[in-house]
Chain A
Amino acid sequence: KAGVTQTPRYLIKTRGQQVTLSCSPISGHRSVSWYQQTPGQGLQFLFEYFSETQRNKGNFPGRFSGRQFSNSRSEMNVSTLELGDSALYLCASSLTGYAGELFFGEGSRLTVL
């Protein structure tokens, strides 16, 4: 069974640009959540989707958005990039998003110059 796949793995952008990250969950998993990981901050919850609906959102500005498609694949978008957006963005999938195990992708490392 294929794991969680995130693309691209690495990307470099400049301030003001926008970026779109993609996540393909494990087959059959309907919940996809996104996290921002930075040194010293740990993982900060961005949002969670289930069956194309956003069920919860973290405390991030509106520049961060996401969506989920009918095949459970998810994308997150960051507009008007700032230097502080440089981070590892992790996607995790689970069957239902309840207290079961989260399965993480390897992440997309974003560097903003």
Chain B
Amino acid sequence: AQTVTQSQPEMSVQEAETVTLSCTYDTSESDYYLFWYKQPPSRQMILVIRQEAYKQQNATENRFSVNFQKAAKSFSLKISDSQLGDAAMYFCAYRSAIGTYKYIFGTGTRLKVLA
């Protein structure tokens, strides 16, 4: 069975600085998708960034980028030029490319942005 591990329950970053959130996963599959979702306080969870496992190039969305290391089964999220609005819970998620339709989420990392 696949698992997703986020070992940092909480992190802090100064406004305008860069922070990296860690995520590791375990799977025997070769084709899958990885996601980072953001859940602001009392607001809906939204997709931050997505990575297809067959793509070697790391995904980037504006200030958000990932470091995808397939062999190491690592999928970290880097937030550059952190803003107060980045404060939220961040969840790493895995989804197989075939078969089941469920997403497997990590336990989340709460990010605090300090002014």
Contacts and interface: CB of A to CB of B under 8 A. Distances in A.
Interface residues of B, number: 24
* Chain A contact patch, size range: 20 to 34
Contacts of A56: 100-102
A53 B6 CA distance: 32
A79 B91 CA distance: 29
A55 B43 CA distance: 28
Contacts of B37: 102, 104
B44 A55 contact: no
**Residue of A43, A45, A50, A104 with highest tally of chain B CB at under 10 A:** A43
Interface core residue of A33, A58, A99, A102 (most chain B CB under 10 Å): A99
B10 to A, nearest CB: 12
B50 A105 contact: no
A35 B105 CA distance: 10
B33 interface: yes
B11 interface: no
A104 B101 contact: no
A98 B102 CA distance: 9
Contacts of A90: 45
Interface of B: 6, 33, 37, 42-47, 50, 52, 91, 93, 95, 97, 100-108
29 contacts: A33-B101, A33-B103, A35-B105, A40-B107, A42-B6, A43-B91, A43-B103, A44-B105, A45-B102, A45-B105, A48-B101, A55-B101, A56-B100, A56-B101, A58-B102, A97-B101, A98-B101, A99-B50, A99-B95, A101-B47, A102-B37, A102-B47, A104-B44, A104-B45, A104-B46, A105-B44, A106-B42, A106-B43, A106-B44
Interface of A: 3-4, 31, 33, 35, 40-45, 48, 50, 55-56, 58, 90, 92, 97-99, 101-102, 104-106
